[in-house]
Structure 1
């Protein structure tokens, strides 16, 4: 089967074999679905073209058989969502389902749980963060419960809202204030004992920490890497001192400005939670879709 997650910044495709429980192939590309959304309220024609081209490119290396395709925050809020999905379907034959934040949290948690199990990381209550292009999901999960809240704060929309580093820093501090009540609630009620993060910013910093760049990126090596605030400060400083060409060689074309927003949001979550370290998992929504499909598939 093929699982596709069209996020607000990146499209991620996974070909997975349910019988052998192995990844057969994968593909991802930055498409900036949420580009200009904060100003227009719509998915732009340029973004639609990037998405369609990426799907066609993915089809060249992956057999699109039994496709389960979902999309998240950017399409949830776009005024032209119906037309966008219809155009994508007409040109690629892929039909996307817009999932709600609680479904997104479920898939992300499913994948993160397997990631921790694979690395023999024991915990009672997992605090999980997914910093996306158009929203940030905060999740608390254990064997009995999954509670999540989605906030319309993402790296693409935030980057396009604030025009300078100073404005970005101040804006993110204000925009993430709504995180505080939810985080205080889970700290008092559940006392989480492990902090986990998936999505592009955490995985990028984890990769840079172990000596990988965008071209040499390996999700299997990133899974389980620990990241601290000191790591975020170190890489923020290094990235800001680089010219954009060098920066994008490390983090990916089109992500040079976004990574700064992502690091700032990530740092605020560290500050609000009081955690000293975070375990990074490359496995996210697309993996959760695949694992969930296979679990429920009637053989």
Structure 2
């Protein structure tokens, strides 16, 4: 069974078309676009018409890919859509215009699917692992082991949300992150695993990749010292200069700093000096979840 999984995030819209075979995924197509559906939503409470148009265009492209590969579409929407006052209008418009059923999922369900994807791609997962997925509008925290998730939480703390609120004001971003994470994380974990654009981008920057390579990124290790050096470098650059940094996609240059601040605070609170980077996450989790229900 071929499945076309689409993750409608606050910043990016990603596609994975794959077919599960013998416990592995045969990857047929992967795409990523950055229409920033959640632009200004944390100030206005509404999805902007311009952002909806950009996102609908991306979904139309993805639908064509899914149809060409004769796959079954499975579309979820996370923080931006679930927070939007006009989410029902958006979901209805996508269904009528493209024939795609969009599921707006709660943060806890987002965490569950992310963890399912992470465990499908990592062999050496500790029995006391903390996994994090730093998104545009929210951050998911997942505690568990290889056999399954034990606990999960979702916080309205994301890279786009912080950028919309504080711009490049690093001190205010750090203050907000510290306040949101107070008493949320402890030091009882032996391993930290990270998934999502902020963390995979940090790995790409660390390796100075001219083009993204998932084989290099997956299961790579980032130390807290390396991450701090990257933050120091990026925060000293103008936005235009930031866009020239190897490994950093230009359309992520304005939101990367808040994402790094969130990660560093999690590392501080958990007292873990390094993070394992996972290239598998919610898209893979969606596919395995769909297959299990058939």
Q: Could you state the TM-score of these two structures normalised by the residue count of structure 1? A: 0.89
8 Å CA contact 1:155, 1:258 repeated in 2: yes
- Tell me, in whole angstroms, the C-alpha distance in 2 between the residues paired with 1:242 and 1:177: 26
Counterpart check, 1:31 vs 2:35 = yes
Matching residue of 2:275: 278
Matching residue of 1:43: 47
Q: What is the count of residue pairs matched by the alignment?
A: 285
8 Å CA contact 1:48, 1:88 repeated in 2: no
Matching residue of 2:90: 84
- Tell me, in whole angstroms, the C-alpha distance in 2 between the residues paired with 1:219 and 1:273: 27
- Tell me, in whole angstroms, the C-alpha distance in 2 between the residues paired with 1:40 and 1:274: 37
Q: CA deviation at 1:19?
A: 3.4
Alignment match of 2:260 (pick from 233, 253, 263): 263
Matching residue of 1:123: 126
Structure 1 residues 257 and 76: CA distance shift in structure 2, 3 A: same
Matching residue of 1:199: 196
- Tell me, in whole angstroms, the C-alpha distance in 2 between the residues paired with 1:33 and 1:2: 20
Alignment match of 2:166 (pick from 152, 162, 165): 162
- Tell me, in whole angstroms, the C-alpha distance in 2 between the residues paired with 1:107 and 1:235: 29
- Tell me, in whole angstroms, the C-alpha distance in 2 between the residues paired with 1:253 and 1:236: 16
Counterpart check, 1:180 vs 2:182 = yes
Alignment match of 2:61 (pick from 57, 62, 75): 57
Counterpart check, 1:222 vs 2:217 = yes
For structure 2, which runs of at least 5 residues remain unmatched after alignment? none
Q: CA deviation at 1:194?
A: 1.1
Give the aligned CA root-mean-square deviation in angstroms: 1.9
Q: CA deviation at 1:115?
A: 2.1
For structure 1, which runs of at least 5 residues remain unmatched after alignment? none
- Tell me, in whole angstroms, the C-alpha distance in 2 between the residues paired with 1:197 and 1:282: 9
Alignment match of 2:75 (pick from 42, 66, 69): 69
**What secondary structure does 2:15 align onto?**
strand
Matching residue of 2:229: 234
Alignment match of 1:7 (pick from 6, 9, 16): 9
Counterpart check, 1:295 vs 2:277 = no
Structure 1 residues 281 and 144: CA distance shift in structure 2, 3 A: closer
- Tell me, in whole angstroms, the C-alpha distance in 2 between the residues paired with 1:151 and 1:180: 12
- Tell me, in whole angstroms, the C-alpha distance in 2 between the residues paired with 1:254 and 1:61: 23
- Tell me, in whole angstroms, the C-alpha distance in 1 between the residues paired with 2:64 and 2:79: 27
Q: CA deviation at 1:231?
A: 1.6
**What secondary structure does 2:185 align onto?**
helix
Q: Could you state the TM-score of these two structures normalised by the residue count of structure 2? A: 0.90
8 Å CA contact 1:5, 1:13 repeated in 2: yes
Matching residue of 1:138: 141
Deviations 1:209-268 (A, max 9, x none): 12214xx11223211011122222222233234443442344223211100111111111
- Tell me, in whole angstroms, the C-alpha distance in 2 between the residues paired with 1:287 and 1:169: 36
Structure 1 residues 270 and 237: CA distance shift in structure 2, 3 A: same
8 Å CA contact 2:66, 2:72 repeated in 1: no
